[in-house]
Structure 1
Amino acid sequence: MRIQDIAALAGVSTATVSRVFSNHPNIRRDVRDHVLAVAKEHGYHPRLSVRRRNVVVITPSRVLVPAENYSGMVLTELARELAERDFRIEILPADNIDRLDSIQFCGVVTVGIDETFAKGWDNRFAAPLVVVDRAVPSFRNVYAVHSDEGQGMALALAHLLATGHRRIGCLIYHWPGHSNSLLRQEAIKATLQEHGLPCEDALIRLVGPNDYIEEVGKLLRAGVDALFCPGGNGGIVTAYALSLYGKSIGTDVSLLSSERMMVSRYCVPAQTTITQDYPALAAAVVDVIHTRMEGRPSPQNILFPYKLIERDSVRRRE
């Protein structure tokens, strides 16, 4: 099907259809919606143009995942990388995802969104979908850019083991349907089992944002000598809970968490953390979009290792 066919079906001129697909500002909203609806009904996707440089970034609903956590750190790097490479960025919360049908774009990036969103993508849009933060099934024109959760959990635990800790409690930030938390739980159990250390469910907990204070108390009663809190704001909330229980971080119990920009390094004591390589993730996302715009193939799965940032919240146990 050609653009002329869409024009005939929509009852408008070819020039009008062209302006709709190029996101021209002088097209009435009702005309734009009508043309896009006709194109969608007949499975027509406008060809990607190297001149169309609008990237839509879909973020989690704020009701589900506070933006100041992981999503905010990814967005900071994505915005910088896209701007440096002359792309425009449009933020679209998951609550408004239906608006995609009325937006023209050269690529879509999802941050922390359930991977089921990718199903059937190629039947709806010609532009690539890049899923950040999780692996996805092998769908056509869908790409995953994420960090190695198994390696990250093993890296954190290896540091705690190397500093003499032998009874480690883990509080994993979790929302139902958030697959990374389950991957982290499995990796933590496997690593502790490999070293012959306690790994019962009572020590490895999936927790929501309001559960940390109670769960920290349970782990302290279980006699842990270190707390590992990947995801969310686990590091700062756990530090607060430890202060309520009268425990000194480092002296009484060590704490290792996920890096949070402008927070982790300024805690007292400064928190030892694991971090994803956010600049590398952002660069890889934009590379995928640029490569597909040029009609070249791109790897469907791009994986990065975590890094360890050593500070003062983990102290050696004799």
Structure 2
Amino acid sequence: MITIQEIAREARVSTATVSRVFSNHPNVKAGIRERVLQVARSRDYHPRLSGRRRNVMLITPSRSAYPVQNYVEMVISHIAGELAARGYRIEILPADNLDRLENIPFCGAIRIGSDEVPWNNWNARFDAPLVMIDREVTPPLPNVFSVRSNEKQGMELAVEYLFRRGHRRIGCLVSMSKLGNPLQRERYLEEALAERKLPAGKSLVRLPTEENFVEEVGKLLRNKPDAIFSPGGSGGIITAYALSLYGKRVPDDISLVVSERAMISRYCIPPQTAITQDYHALAAAAVDVIDARLRRQDFPRETVLDYQLIERDSVADRPTA
């Protein structure tokens, strides 16, 4: 195996500079850092990460672009707990401050939210894995991993549940939250409805923003749905509020399924039936990536986890012909 002395010689720098590059030291010019990393990669050299660098960066959504959401808080809580249980130190870095990342020693990074990979040359910049939460990585990038929930299965889970309870006009309000995958969800919902020979299209599958959500509920009600599925963002609580304004009782007049929101969904009146991500499994898989890469072991580029259904009191049976 090549030594750092040989890397230093090929890169035309001192061994001390090579050590600084491998420890993400801030006082190394970008051009020199890239030259050292290019030599290391060409010789298949992977420096060992020391215990003092068991520091994991949690990259959170920009506060200016993404208001704090219950989803982000739940993901951070589970990931932070999993990291702490395995002996990692945690540093939270808002996406607004990504430029600081090259000045912070870390052994892995986890990015939460719908932003894309910050740099397509991530592997050239950092000798550490990046885990994207709830985001597909296309095309695949070296040392970048995806841990996400199965959106297709989640949408089908909700539609099938309502279908089994006798509902045949299922309206869908897919929140255009920047933290979700609204267009993907819209497509999967229309497919799930079509597979069961239920009406779909724009009249029943709508994409409201937070600003026009209440109005969109009213437009949806004109098409006489007997149930509403409202995944993503704060859609569940806003839908329930709008239904009360329009004089609709849940579940007597209309059934409602939402995305689970901790400390909210279960305390609504009535308590809301919800689909939920497996946050514990999601956090464990994200940290598994970092564990494996620290040991220089291979790990699947993508981990996909199924949604679960929480049955409460917001869905009533409907008689079928």
Q: TM-score, normalised by structure 2?
A: 0.88
User: For residues 89 and 48 of structure 1, what CA distance do their matches in structure 2 show?
Assistant: 20
Report if aligned partners of 1:118, 1:142 keep a CA contact under 8 Å in 2: no
Aligned to 1:29: none
TM-superposed CA distance for 1:57, in Å, is: 1.0
Aligned to 2:298: 297
Aligned to 1:153: 155
Aligned to 2:275: 274
Aligned to 2:49: 49
**Structure 1 spans left out of the alignment, 5+ residues:** 24-31
Aligned to 1:142: 144
SS at match of 2:232: coil
Report if aligned partners of 1:224, 1:253 keep a CA contact under 8 Å in 2: yes
Report if aligned partners of 2:8, 2:36 keep a CA contact under 8 Å in 1: no
| Alignment coverage as a number of residue pairs | 306
Question: Structure 1's 69 and 10: CA in aligned 2 closer, same or farther, altered over 3 A?
Answer: farther
TM-superposed CA distance for 1:10, in Å, is: 7.8
What amino acid is the match of 1:80?
G
Aligned to 2:308: 307
TM-superposed CA distance for 1:48, in Å, is: 4.2
1:117-153 CA-partner distances (Å, limit 9, x unpaired): 3522112111011111021121111111111100000
User: For residues 255 and 104 of structure 1, what CA distance do their matches in structure 2 show?
Assistant: 47
User: For residues 38 and 305 of structure 1, what CA distance do their matches in structure 2 show?
Assistant: 43
TM-superposed CA distance for 1:165, in Å, is: 0.9
User: For residues 43 and 281 of structure 1, what CA distance do their matches in structure 2 show?
Assistant: 35
Aligned to 1:171: 173
SS at match of 2:174: strand
Aligned to 1:283: 284
Runs of 4+ residues over 3 Å off in structure 1: 1-6, 8-11, 16-23, 36-39
Whether 1:212 aligns to 2:205 is no
Identity of aligned residues (%): 51
Aligned to 2:63: 62
Report if aligned partners of 1:48, 1:106 keep a CA contact under 8 Å in 2: no
Q: CA RMSD in A?
A: 2.4
1:142-187 CA-partner distances (Å, limit 9, x unpaired): 11111110000000000111111111111111246x6721111111
Question: Structure 1's 96 and 230: CA in aligned 2 closer, same or farther, altered over 3 A?
Answer: same
User: For residues 66 and 136 of structure 2, what CA distance do their matches in structure 1 show?
Assistant: 19
- Output aligned runs, 1:197-208, within 5 Å: 197-208=198-209
SS at match of 2:296: coil
Report if aligned partners of 1:36, 1:102 keep a CA contact under 8 Å in 2: no
SS at match of 1:187: helix
Question: Structure 1's 186 and 43: CA in aligned 2 closer, same or farther, altered over 3 A?
Answer: farther
User: For residues 209 and 199 of structure 2, what CA distance do their matches in structure 1 show?
Assistant: 23
Aligned to 2:182: 181
Aligned to 1:27: none
SS at match of 2:99: helix
TM-superposed CA distance for 1:41, in Å, is: 4.0
SS at match of 1:49: coil
Which of 198-207 and 273-282 deviates more? 198-207
1:9-58 CA-partner distances (Å, limit 9, x unpaired): 788x82x87578657xxxxxxxx533253543425378241412100111
Aligned to 2:43: none
TM-superposed CA distance for 1:246, in Å, is: 1.6
SS at match of 2:145: strand
Question: Structure 1's 86 and 170: CA in aligned 2 closer, same or farther, altered over 3 A?
Answer: same
Which of 59-68 and 77-86 deviates more? 59-68
User: For residues 13 and 94 of structure 2, what CA distance do their matches in structure 1 show?
Assistant: 30
**Structure 2 spans left out of the alignment, 5+ residues:** 41-45
Report if aligned partners of 1:10, 1:35 keep a CA contact under 8 Å in 2: no
Report if aligned partners of 1:48, 1:127 keep a CA contact under 8 Å in 2: no
User: For residues 48 and 182 of structure 1, what CA distance do their matches in structure 2 show?
Assistant: 42
User: For residues 157 and 73 of structure 2, what CA distance do their matches in structure 1 show?
Assistant: 24
Aligned to 1:26: none
Q: TM-score, normalised by structure 1?
A: 0.89
